[in-house]
Structure 1
């Protein structure tokens, strides 16, 4: 028996773990009390790593879809099929006929980061999509516009703040998200112990609201009005403390003049006095920070919301301030080292709906259009990397059929899921216990600077390959196939970048991380971190502006034309039908601590207990419709209908219903051990891909008008 230490990479929290290993199997998992970031915290998902490793439904070797079912094949044959499918599509229809979708797990895997990116760059397609535009695209766009880089994201200094305002986020369930904050519950207790305040604004009384000092209901989709009213109060009362590298304060005052608390209150559903009081206390606190997450990003005015949150922090002097919002200093600084680019916006547009790209990706809501609309440039083949867009994208039913109609598809996944079931070939990578890990992305978003390298805890299963090995082997074969093509236009598209990408593929993730550590911080290397298995503490967040700005002039421009151009539409909510029509309710999503988006429903450890799939609705709304608690109801939106059990809950704001994200596993056609018994339809069967944020084109997943009726 041995004890190993490492990191959970299932979500953004980077919790330190202690593994007990016997006979090449993990027999127990505990929180690592010596981890400087998570401090012993652990959630149920981490415990399920044992189940994921032993899951009989997990794919180990490639499988090919045949008329008689799935057939296991050898890696060389799988590579040949994939290369032939991708190259022939590119040869016959052009590079843009190949589409790419990348799911969240890619940024949680070291090998996918170091080797997946070079491989996808070889495909040379503009039809790139990811979970970014189903999630945090407004964050990244605002970062790019205001601070000069998509990853320059000020992080709440929760460990030292006096006033923490959370809008549309639930860190008690997520342990952060665009703010890596494990052990959130203890951090809240510490906040209260030093006399601080936690305020939550959300249309559902969430798990985070349960531990807050205050909770305020807000009508879904109106958060932009509330935030602009908070900014209005700060400016009207003169409670501003603005740094000398910030421009545009007077212009902001003119933009928010009409958004007084009294004007927005009837629409927002929060009393004008409460709005004024919240803004006054926030501005008057010794230190304060506002944080908004999925609830404010995935709505009609998501970009305006994220911009207004930054403006509120800046105007009150809480940007780059201890206890406010600070930038991180990770050991491998993706921004400083230019490993991740600044990003760009609207350099080109999608073929069908004319939607803008961001950082080379189109909004995921238009993927189905590009797959189904005839014409030059239509997507005919897809490569899906660790994603399940049929469940996670709006318009799931239509997208499901679109995947079925492709000429070719490859999926990189160790499960046959609702999306991968359409693939011609599935290439399964090893799971997290079987591969080295260093967290490149979420160290950039952490509430404390730390560094940790985790060697693989267990050996690979016989015949298995790590994701970086798959990308390496496939990339080399793909380049060779292109080089042999007699078609001149294909050869011309081979670029020096592709040559560099192939060279990067031959370097292991461990060696890549070691080189980055050695060239970044004195005294750090993989070997040095291996001597500190609990992780190395690099200290609290520190002020560093304006030096850390990536804007050309090292200044912050509050007025961003692309954002303020959407303010008239926000203003229209004050006078138009912002409240649903008679009989309509507003639907929002929700997440669970024992779930992870559209996967991890195949482990009994996480799915046991009370059902979590129901539609939550306020008792008054059910009584008004003659619907009993527990009844089967039909939920209908402009995009479609689903049937689901309803659960009466006074935790919901009247007029609002909530459906969880990520359910709907009945589609797979494969009898899985657990997931086939998990109830619940997919919420995205009734979300509309035509509805997007007007600025960023991020998907609208919250504030959806619906009707409910007993079946």
Structure 2
């Protein structure tokens, strides 16, 4: 007779995007019965988005790999973990022995930062790998934020967060938080937060080439020509400094560079930039003055202003606007968190690097490293260009760069040419199909969860630990265990001192991510202190609070939290100021530029049910009308002979795709939009649901040579493309790749 397993209720944080929504998950044995929002979560307060159901689908996905596999001439064959790990280490070592330590590269995708075990143990594997060729998703969407924070505030993670719950004026550029619930601004239920802002008499203004979901709910939306945001931001600075007058308040005592900002912004009047941005001078001046006159205000920019040729300038100028208007490090402005596990000001062993720039450069194009990583835009050329230092082997972890980074076709060619490739990933996707070995980790529901990174960017100080729902199957490995085992193998092969290496391995294995997490919490700002009758925070105490703990609203913390020399805020860093000359050189003629027939500017877009390519293998998330369509303004559609539902051919310097057309005034004239993360029709991909909704990859068009020169971040937004209708052939046309 079988004993029935009782149903249970689990409280958890969703770790599929940055929003940190609290979940209430009902299970029956090994089955998930339901996933709902947790009303008792003090941060998300019951909010949930459609992506949360994907936790069950990803856990149960029949396409997910359950054990290591090796690619052979006749297909994929299963391997034991011992054989897979040993062969991986041996082949990586062989490449480095023959061609040098930098002949191996590693790419880490964005799910890594949703996994505290990977975050805490991956650095030990990277140290054992001993390569300078490290890449990540950072340089495809957020590197300008880190650069600006490093140069202005002294630490790459001191990224100011909008105090959305107390502000009275929110100026949003290139961001769609109603769809994303925040990015580098963790704000679950942003729609409700925006409504609350308006109900208290506040105002939201969105500046974007597309009328996004956020723009539809805002008080005002301004169309802006893609790639000109830095010019418009300079015009706002001009009004604030030259017409309204800078109001630094208490920041003046520890801020350098105001006089420099005053002088360099002089020429960028609203009238001077208006013909280039498409925003009328009187509108710019009105918005800037309203921002200055609000009781509190905050300027926030995200992917759309980071992923362009002047992304570094944009993020710097956003900080400048918040500082000179007196809205930096104050209630309702741009503020900083004080997370329980403090990656900025915690004990040295627990901190992340402050950052660095230019300690070495990429071999082919000479682009600078930032914080030990090279821009991923150079990965393809570093593999394909012969010579000393050529990349000949690659490790990928939780990443799909073929569809998420520039010039995916070049990466296809590059990955196919490697001597060896290994992927730590649960799927055979557009990238991992090139791997020789795939090492699949446990699922999101089979590991504990703690938000190391997103607590650092939350709009309120909060902390929570989520234990695993299910035990991993016998023999399964966590990401951190895979990294630790590979480190151990490599240390032996590299001839590291055996006793010391063995002791390090055993110590890390015994500690694991949970004990490391406990040490970080105890040593953090809410940890054990000599305070009578007030025991501090520890992992055990956190586990006793399954809904999480509210640590309070954001509080002023400068200059104490600054990491610059002498704890002074640098308003005009030399590297950023110097880049203004490049911006001046790109100024367009005084009159609006004439578009050649068929040429438009391509931008991306985000949907609430999208985050990365994993989401496209979840039937619930891709159901409904096809989302991988080309948005075209009605004027451009008429001019180019495009029709609703018809096919358009989109061509760039690096490639060509065809996609169905959506005619809409959501995009401004001269601009077209494709979503990212699609293109699942490549041979060898084993994603059945995604394959049925293949779409086309915007990164078969994006140009690996289009970058922000000072940060190296990919410049996706505002890509010049040519559009033409696909002639009807009498048969059903389907989106094509290549």
The TM-score bracket by the shorter chain reads over 0.9
Number of equivalences: 703
CA separation of 1:12 and 1:562: change in aligned 2, threshold 3 A: same
Report the equivalent of 1:55.
61
TM-score (norm 2): 0.93
CA RMSD of aligned residues (A): 1.7
C-alpha distance after superposition, 1:410-462 (max 9, x if no partner) = 00000000000111100001111100111111100000111111110112134
Report the equivalent of 2:455.
443
Distance 2:151 2:505 in 1: 29
Q: Secondary structure at the match of 2:472?
A: coil
Distance 1:104 1:506 in 2: 27
2:518 pairs with 507, 514, 533, which one? Answer: 514
Report the equivalent of 1:678.
693
1:625 is the counterpart of 2:634 = no
Report the equivalent of 1:666.
681
Report the equivalent of 1:302.
311
1:599 pairs with 599, 603, 614, which one? Answer: 614
CA separation of 1:203 and 1:575: change in aligned 2, threshold 3 A: closer
Distance 2:412 2:593 in 1: 32
Report the equivalent of 1:210.
216
Distance 2:323 2:652 in 1: 38
1:586 is the counterpart of 2:598 = no
Report the equivalent of 2:715.
700
Per the TM alignment, residue 503 of structure 1 is displaced from its structure 2 partner at its CA by 4.0
Distance 1:23 1:235 in 2: 63
Report the equivalent of 1:253.
262
C-alpha distance after superposition, 1:348-394 (max 9, x if no partner) = 11111010100010010001111011111100000001100111111
Report the equivalent of 1:559.
572
Distance 1:580 1:206 in 2: 26
1:104 is the counterpart of 2:110 = yes
Distance 1:272 1:5 in 2: 51
1:650 pairs with 660, 665, 668, which one? Answer: 665
C-alpha distance after superposition, 1:522-581 (max 9, x if no partner) = 321111111110001100000010111000111112111111111122223434598464
Distance 2:509 2:575 in 1: 38
CA separation of 1:64 and 1:634: change in aligned 2, threshold 3 A: same
Report the equivalent of 1:39.
45
Distance 2:397 2:32 in 1: 27
C-alpha distance after superposition, 1:570-604 (max 9, x if no partner) = 22343459846422111100111111123211111
CA separation of 1:19 and 1:255: change in aligned 2, threshold 3 A: same
Whether the 8 Å CA contact 2:276–2:588 is kept in 1: the answer is no
CA separation of 1:502 and 1:421: change in aligned 2, threshold 3 A: farther
Distance 1:235 1:183 in 2: 35
Q: Secondary structure at the match of 2:148?
A: helix
1:389 pairs with 393, 401, 406, which one? Answer: 401
Distance 1:673 1:349 in 2: 40
1:231 pairs with 237, 254, 273, which one? Answer: 237
Q: Secondary structure at the match of 2:95?
A: helix
1:276 pairs with 266, 270, 285, which one? Answer: 285
Per the TM alignment, residue 498 of structure 1 is displaced from its structure 2 partner at its CA by 11
Distance 2:607 2:56 in 1: 20
TM-score (norm 1): 0.97
2:339 pairs with 324, 330, 335, which one? Answer: 330
Q: Secondary structure at the match of 2:617?
A: coil
Higher alpha-carbon deviation: 331-340 or 518-527: 518-527
Whether the 8 Å CA contact 1:118–1:501 is kept in 2: the answer is no
Distance 2:637 2:398 in 1: 39
C-alpha distance after superposition, 1:229-272 (max 9, x if no partner) = 00001111133211221111111111111110011111101111
Distance 2:330 2:697 in 1: 42
C-alpha distance after superposition, 1:162-217 (max 9, x if no partner) = 00111000001111111111110111111111111111100000011111111110
Pairwise mapping of residues 367-446 of structure 1 onto structure 2 (< 5 A)? 367-446=379-458
Q: Secondary structure at the match of 2:651?
A: strand
Higher alpha-carbon deviation: 627-636 or 322-331: 627-636
